[in-house]
Structure 1
Amino acid sequence: MATATRRQTAPDEPAGAVDFTIITGLSGAGRSEAAKCFEDLGYFVVDNLPPALIGKMAELATTSGSPARVAIVADVRGGVFFTELSKGLEGLKALHIPYRILFLEASDDDLVKRYEATRRRHPLAPDDRVVEGIRKERLMMQSLKESADLIIDSTGMSPHDLRDRVRDLFARTPAETRIQVSLVSFGYKNGLPRDADLVLDVRFLPNPYWIDRLRPLPGTDPTVKEFVTGQRAYGEFIRKIRSLFNTVVPGYVAEGKAYLTIAIGCTGGRHRSVVVAESRPRPRLNPAATDPARDRPIAAPSPGTRIERHGPERPVRSLRRQR
């Protein structure tokens, strides 16, 4: 059974303090997956740093311009350096740098299965059975486990489950704000954007291109916008795609997707697709903080949204919402 246990609660850190985390635990318990997740959360991650250098790394982290969130992976791959970890931690205390230890473990059966799946040797038993290496490592890591601030038992967890658990414990922002949503307008004559996750075709709307006074104007022009938004089908279309986004985007968030590109296309990518993209039909991720009449967020933080217009002679405009 997968569990996470807090051994002690660190006091609240003052604003601007360095967020210093040491990731350690048993080989095969998920340190690498945890490190990847920390990177996704904005941490500066250093893998397999010799413990003797932890104090120096912490000093650098406190200097101006250095990353404010640092995670260090320390494990038995450090060889003799691993025995110096306690000295490194004492050095942090001497420098008055707060830190926390995340310890990952799993059952012997799960660890053996994972080693069998990867066909790798245990670092403490290169010429012996995997179970013997696990036994040695448990003994070596016991004192560190007892001093850990947080213990995650990854038994029965998939890599996806472990990433979710780490995000839940260490992310500073609510889950619904952890996805970057990009709205991209494009022209079918130029081809689809390669990074599109969802594609919406708005060529069913009347084309301003066939109106002489609108043809030379871009989709950002108020006259073009008034023409497109004034079509009977426009309002119903916007309501339906908002409903679609409200269904699929929370699912993407739950699956751990960090970004979502929604491509909106018309023939040339100059008029209709630009108007729809500029309307920013964002997903509603917090129903309790929405305006039912307009079906859009009004109080809750919404995901970052970037709008791009693809095509010749059209500048790219970027709008980012602070998380």
Structure 2
Amino acid sequence: MDTLTEAPSPAAPQRLLLVTGMAGAGKSTALAVLEDLGWEVMDNFPVRLLKRLMAMPDEARGPLAIGFDSRTRGFVPADIIALVKDLAAREDIALTFVFLDCSGSELERRYNETRRRHPMAAGRPVMEGIAAERELLEPLRRWAEIMVDTSAMTSNDLQAHIRQLFGTDSREGATTLTLSSFGFARGMPPLADLVFDMRFLDNPHWVPELRPLTGQDAAVGAHIERDPAFADVFGRIRDLLLVLLPRYAAQGKPYVHVAFGCTGGRHRSVYTAERMAESLRSAGFSPTVRHRNLGSRAADEIERDRR
């Protein structure tokens, strides 16, 4: 009897991530996070050697991230696009192109803070160097699959965003759920998927004995619970999340961030996030809770919504 020999299954495509963008927009930070996530990272790699690198056999190679920018030797946007098009057409390579952008005013502030020279300023004001680089990189910006604007991001924000885009979870198809609290007076969270405004609730800040406490204290929680609107709104938000979260998971969304805001980020939003986490855990979810402004100073001047 003849035996049939199964054909070997084709190897998985090599994951290749190309990271470029404006100098000062966060390329080094992004690459550091990718390295922590298990990517093999090469920064300032000569782009003209990329095709030769990808032709080298390496069965043990994991996902590969290549960083380059206007300072990299052989940086010609038109040539880079032509090269990347050739690589993207190969069936053995799964290529993603990321561009990190940032507003000119924010880049100028960053360069002034660090006292670094812009690579394209050459003795000119930093804004002229930024404008020249933006003009040079515009073809790459238009062509990139993923554009990340870091203008309003802190370093931590960018790190979290890169993890959301390119991290993997040990459980196939699992969604990582984060509930957070924040203060509107201290800025909106840039990476939240859903934001709920809790400023309609009675503000514990204006109760002298509650002012130095936070939403993690029982007395503050009791005060918020006594607000007639709390129970109904809390239940509606919980029911909405119970509908949305499974649908996010079904769509393959790896991270979901739900943020609750109040004025200062110390009382109403904190309590709501903690209570919602308890409720979702009882429904089978495993949320992580973060409080952005819990340690911020309580101050009358930022509490605008007086009774």
Summarize the alignment of residues 109-124 of structure 1 with structure 2, pairs less than 5 Å apart.
Answer: 109-124=105-120
Q: Is the 8 A contact 1:105 1:154 kept in 2?
A: yes
Partner of 2:54: 58
- The two structures have a TM-score, normalised by structure 2, of 0.51
Q: Is the 8 A contact 1:52 1:87 kept in 2?
A: no
The secondary structure found in structure 1 opposite 2:19 is: strand
Q: What does the per-residue CA deviation read over 1:8-31, in whole Å, with 9 as the maximum and x for residues that have no partner?
A: xxxxxx982221110011011111
1:30 to 22, 26, 30: 26
The secondary structure found in structure 2 opposite 1:66 is: coil
CA shift for structure 1 position 102:
0.7
Partner of 2:129: 133
- Aligned pair count? 174
Q: What 5-or-longer segments of structure 2 have no aligned partner?
A: 1-9, 170-174, 178-256, 258-277, 287-307
Summarize the alignment of residues 1-323 of structure 1 with structure 2, pairs less than 5 Å apart.
Answer: 16-60=12-56, 63-67=58-62, 69-83=63-77, 84-93=79-88, 95-96=90-91, 97-173=93-169, 174-175=175-176, 287=281
Whole-angstrom distance in 1 between the partners of 2:122 and 2:176: 41
CA shift for structure 1 position 40:
1.2
Q: What 5-or-longer segments of structure 1 have no aligned partner?
A: 1-13, 177-253, 255-283, 291-296, 301-323
Whole-angstrom distance in 1 between the partners of 2:68 and 2:282: 43
**Equivalent residue letter for 1:102:** V
Whole-angstrom distance in 2 between the partners of 1:43 and 1:86: 23
Q: Is the 8 A contact 1:20 1:58 kept in 2?
A: no
Whole-angstrom distance in 1 between the partners of 2:48 and 2:89: 14
Whole-angstrom distance in 2 between the partners of 1:170 and 1:15: 21
Q: Is the 8 A contact 2:47 2:74 kept in 1?
A: no
Whole-angstrom distance in 1 between the partners of 2:123 and 2:111: 14
Q: Is the 8 A contact 1:75 1:82 kept in 2?
A: no
CA shift for structure 1 position 59:
2.8
Whole-angstrom distance in 2 between the partners of 1:289 and 1:59: 50
**Equivalent residue letter for 1:108:** G
Q: What does the per-residue CA deviation read over 1:253-302, in whole Å, with 9 as the maximum and x for residues that have no partner?
A: x9xxxxxxxxxxxxxxxxxxxxxxxxxxxxx9x83686xxxxxx9xx8xx
